[in-house]
Amino acid sequence: MEIEREYQKSLDFIYSFIDLSITRNLRYSPEKFNLSRMVKLMALLGDPQLNYDVIHVAGTKGKGSICAMAASIMKEAGYKVGFYSSPHMIDFRERIKINNYDIPKKILTYYVTKLRPIINSVEKTSTFEIITAIAFKYFADQQVDIALIEVGMGGRLDATNVVKPIVSVISPVSHDHMKILGNTIAKIAEEKAGIIKKSVPVILSPQKKSAKVAIERIADSKGSLIIDTSEKYRYKQIKYSLLKQSFMIIKRKSNSLVSNSTVCEIPLLGDHQINNAITAYACIVQLRKIGYEVSENALANGFSKVEWPGRFEVICQKPLVIVDGAHNKDSFRKLRDTIKKYLGIRKVTLIFGASEDKEVRSMLQIIRPYIDHFIFTKSEHPRALGISELEKFALNLDLKNYSTRKIDTITPLILRQSKQDQVFLASGSIFIAGAIKQLLAKREK
C-alpha cells in the first residue's frame, strides 16, 4: 500500500539522523547534548510547544505511568490531551498520542514531508529532537488543551526541555545512564531537576534522601514550590489481583479516612504503581487549583481506564505470560517485590535480555531468588547485550538457564507449557517485553 510505503520512508528519514538512544559508549558532551539545536528548530517552527499547557515529567522510573494516568484522567474530564513518551514498545507511533490514539501513519508522513527542509537546515539534529519537534507541532495543530510530556533522558539538556510547563514532576530517581548523567544519585537528581522552571510548582514522587536534597536545592533557587507526595499523602491498599488493584489515597495529618480520602482502582500492578498514581493525583489537584475542572467521577474513570502496556502486563492466561519493562537495579527490586506479592509459589521462568549499559549482574542477583529458570535472549536493538555476555553472567551466578539468539524460538516453548503453576515473565528491557508480546499476538491470530 502507498501509505505503508510512505510511512516507512518517513521512519527511514527520522532514523537517518544521529540516534543517541543507540549510540554505544555515549558520553555527555556539548555536541551531543545541546539545547541550542532544539531551540533553533522550534523557533523555525514558530515555537508550537508554547501554544498549550504542559505537564513536564522527568525521573528514572515511573514517569511514563504517571503521564499515562494523568492523561487518562484529563481525557475523562473532557479535555483534548497530548501525550509524548519514549521509547515505544512495539509501534513507533505509540510515542505521540492525542486522547490515547496513536498519531496516524498518514499524518506522521505529512509532518516529515512538511518539516524536512527545516530539519535539514539545522546541523547535527538528532533523531529524538526530530520526533519531539513533530510531536510538539502535531499537538499545536490539533489544538490540544494540555500535553503530558515525558523527558527522554536526564532533564536539563533533554530535547523536551524547551517547554514552559504549568507543573513540573520528578518521579523516583535511581541509578541509570550513569555514563551520561553521573555516578551518584545526587548528580542524577540534579540533571532531572534541570526541568524546574522559575516559580512553577514541582510535584515530587517519593525519593532517596540525596535526590530529594538536590532537587529541593534547585527548586528553592528557582522560587518553585515543592509538593512532596510522600509528606502530603499516604495510601491504604484495599485489594489486588492479576487484573487490577484498588487503594485509598489519604491526606496526611488527618485522622479521617472519609472526608480526606479518595478511592482509586487501576489496571497497573505493583505497590510502586500506587505511588505513581498518587503523583498523578497530585498533578490533578494542582490543575484544579489553577482552573481545570476535573470531577471525582472523571478522576475515578481516568484511573480505571488507563492504558500503559508493558508494566507487569498479563498478555496470556494459559499459560500465564507477563511482560514488564524493568531495566535497571531499582526497577528490578520493584519487579522482585511484585513477583513475590502477585505470583506467590508459582514457578517463574524469566525471559531476559538487556542493553549493554545496564548493571546486568546486579539485576540478575536481585531477581534470582524468585526465578526457577532463565531464558537468555537478545532483542534487535543495536545496544542489546550479546548472548555470550549473558551466558558469562549465568555461569558466574550459577543460574539454571537456556539461551537463544533468536527470540522468536521462545514462543513455541511458551505455548507448549501446560503446567498450572508455571509463569513466563519477559523483562530486562522494554524491547524484550515488546518482542514477546508481539510474537504471542501473531501466534494467536
Same domain as 300, residue 318: no
Same domain as 360, residue 272: no
CA distance 103 to 100: 9
pLDDT at 153: 86
pLDDT at 258: 44
As a whole number of Å, the CA-based R_g of the chain is 21
Same domain as 402, residue 257: no
End-to-end CA distance of the chain: 22
Report how many domains make up the chain.
2
Q: Which of 286, 305, 324 is the last residue of a domain?
A: 305
Same domain as 167, residue 283: yes
Same domain as 329, residue 221: no
Q: Which of 272, 305, 338 is the last residue of a domain?
A: 305
Question: Exposed, middle or buried, 239 (CB in 10 Å: 0-12/13-18/19+)?
Answer: exposed
Same domain as 219, residue 287: yes
Q: For residue 330, give the C-alpha cell.
A: 531499582
Place of cell 504503581: 273
Same domain as 407, residue 264: no
Domain CATH code at residue 199 = 3.40.1190.10
pLDDT at 382: 81
CA distance 135 to 124: 19
Same domain as 332, residue 259: no
Domain CATH code at residue 365 = 3.90.190.20
CA distance 165 to 163: 6
Going from the C-alpha of 166 to that of each of 175, 209, 214, 233, 411, the distances in angstroms are 28, 26, 21, 22, 45
Beta-sheet pairing, 261-266 with 245-251: antiparallel
CA distance 224 to 204: 12
CA distance 271 to 277: 10
CA distance 281 to 303: 9
pLDDT at 30: 46
Same domain as 159, residue 18: yes
Same domain as 324, residue 242: no
Taking alpha carbons only, the member of 95, 98, 102, 99 closest to residue 14 is 95
Q: For residue 190, give the C-alpha cell.
A: 540534579
CA dihedral 328, 330, 332, 335 (to 10 degrees): -140
Beta-sheet pairing, 373-376 with 261-266: unpaired
Q: Which of 254, 276, 305 is the last residue of a domain?
A: 305
CA distance 173 to 180: 14
Same domain as 351, residue 203: no
Structural domain for 391, as ranges: 313-444
pLDDT at 130: 97
Taking alpha carbons only, the member of 226, 58, 236 closest to residue 156 is 58
Same domain as 243, residue 368: no
> Mean pLDDT for each consecutive 10-residue tract of the chain (445 residues)?
93 87 50 82 98 97 96 98 96 97 98 96 93 98 98 92 98 74 84 96 96 96 97 95 96 60 94 97 97 97 97 94 93 96 94 90 95 92 88 91 90 82 94 94 69
pLDDT at 333: 95
Could you tell me which residues come within 8 angstroms of residue 311 by beta carbon, excluding any fewer than 6 positions away? 65, 268, 269, 270, 273, 324, 325
Hey, is 103 helix, strand or coil?
A: coil
CB 321 within 8 A of CB 336: no
